[in-house]
Amino acid sequence: MQLISNSTANCLRHFLTDAEADFTEEARVIELFDKVCDVLNSASPADPKSLRRGYKASEEQEAVLDGAVEELLAMRFGSARHLYPFQKAMLVTIRSVRGLLRDMRSAFGEDTYLLTRRLTQDQLEGLFGMVRGRCGSNSNPNPVDAMASLRLLTILSGLKCGVSPLRRPGTAGRDPEVELEEGTGASADPNDVPSELDQLAELQEEAADAVPPEVAADLETFSDARASDVETESEMESLLQEYDAAAKRSRSSGGAAAASSTTPAEANAMVYVCGFVAGRARDRSLGAPSSQSEDGPLDALWVRLRSEGGLTIPTKNFYDVFLEMDNCFKIHHALEPDFLSRKPMVVANFLEVLNLKFPTVPAAAKKTFARARTFMRLKTVNGRILAQSAEKREARKRKQAAT
């Protein structure tokens, strides 16, 4: 950009006649701001261009910046009498660079100079890009996704630097034998020491489950003041994240829980989703906030622990009906690929089935259940498809590497 602007200024200045004075004025302005960009983009004290040899408030650099300030203050567009945002921004930049040099010289001496190219926000923009990249195709992550991504990026950065995030405070630099004698160190058996990959997998699961209680309580608050009976996308996304977190815990559980058809984590997730449906229906006969609920299923303990008084606890009767509606969903899609119908209006078609089999259940509860349950199955199917695609790509890479 600077080379183009400098070449343009030279062409306008050297090859135009005096009759075309307007263009020579344009050449002067272009050349001035090209020099300003040189001063504000200094990268080396030995640069071939004197203006880019580090900003040290030399006479030449100050003359360029003074000329830019005068030009920006006098510049007007059309009939406007005010300064446009780009003019104000450049004035603030010039003033800030000058003030920074004064502060640095007061601390480090008069020989201090600034490499102004380092005064950039590219690192911050790069961090934003990494956060968005961790959220898949979602270029506008919500606060929950952004927080989980930042936490995971911090953990990965520490692991790359050789810093274990699992180390307890105050144990750095201690003798491992002393730690073993005190019982604070790792096990002496090498097989009991978790590998870095195991630690990373555990930390990734923790980052995926990092949902602030205040966010979940705010999304799931049982309130009669909410007038709409259609859940928002943010509520649906929060519900899916909670459901996925419970599913991960159910897959990692073993023993008698894994042998049964429904693990405790899956049962807790079912109660959570049932409470969400009851809360959206705004019917006290279906459920009540945890701070007011005295009747509820036995598996509601996890929801009560997560709640700060706002999450809905379903009644035992409605939880039984909810399980029947869940079985109805499984039967309705049993003969379809991936157990999910590919026909148009899949939610509306299943809602018609619910209306026929459960006429006494409030319409808002059936509508919320049909939408939430379909989206959960859809997310599971999409995750399986993505995993299969990733495996195929890895297989092709291994095949190409072998040849």
Q: What is the residue-wise DSSP string for 251-307? A: HH--THHHHSSS-HHHHHHHHHHHHHHHHHHT-TTTEEETTT-----GGGHHHHHH-
CA distance 56 to 45: 10
CA dist 210 and 208 (Å) reads: 6
Tens-digit pLDDT profile for residues 192-248:
444 544 555 554 454 444 444 443 444 344 333 333 433 445 555 566 566 566 555
pTM: 0.39
CA–CA distance, 195 with 203 (Å, rounded to integer): 12
Place of tokens 């950039």: 120
For the chain, what is the radius of gyration of the CA atoms? 32
Say what angle helices 316-332 and 363-402 make with each other, to 10 degrees.
Answer: 50
119-133, 160-174, 345-359: least confidently modelled range:
160-174
pLDDT in tens, 375-400: 988 888 888 889 899 899 889 888 88
The answer to whether the CB of 266 falls within 8 A of the CB of 376 is no
pLDDT > 90: percent of the chain: 15
Helix (H, G, I), strand (E, B) or coil at 97: helix
Asked if residue 151 has pLDDT above 80, the reply is yes
Pick from 264, 235, 241, 258: nearest CA to 376: 241
pLDDT 10s digits, 57-99: 888 999 999 999 998 998 888 888 888 888 898 899 899 999 9
| Core vs surface per residue 194-208: b (16+ CB within 10 A) or e | eeeeeebeebeeebe
- Percent of all residues in the chain with a pLDDT value above 70, rounded to a whole number: 67
The position carrying tokens 């601390």 is 107
Q: How much is the pLDDT for 249?
A: 55
Q: Are 281 and 368 in contact (CB under 8 A)?
A: yes
Q: Is the dihedral of CA 259, 262, 268, 269 positive or negative?
A: positive
For the CA atoms of 53, 54, 60, 66, what is the dihedral angle to 10 degrees? 140
Helices (H), 109-220: 122-134, 143-160, 176-182, 196-208, 213-219
Residues in the chain: 403
Distance CA 101, CA 98 (A): 5
- Count Cα atoms within 13 angstroms, Cβ side, for 55: 29
* DSSP letter, residue 55: B
Model pLDDT, residue 241: 63
Residue with the bigger pLDDT between 193 and 263: it is 263
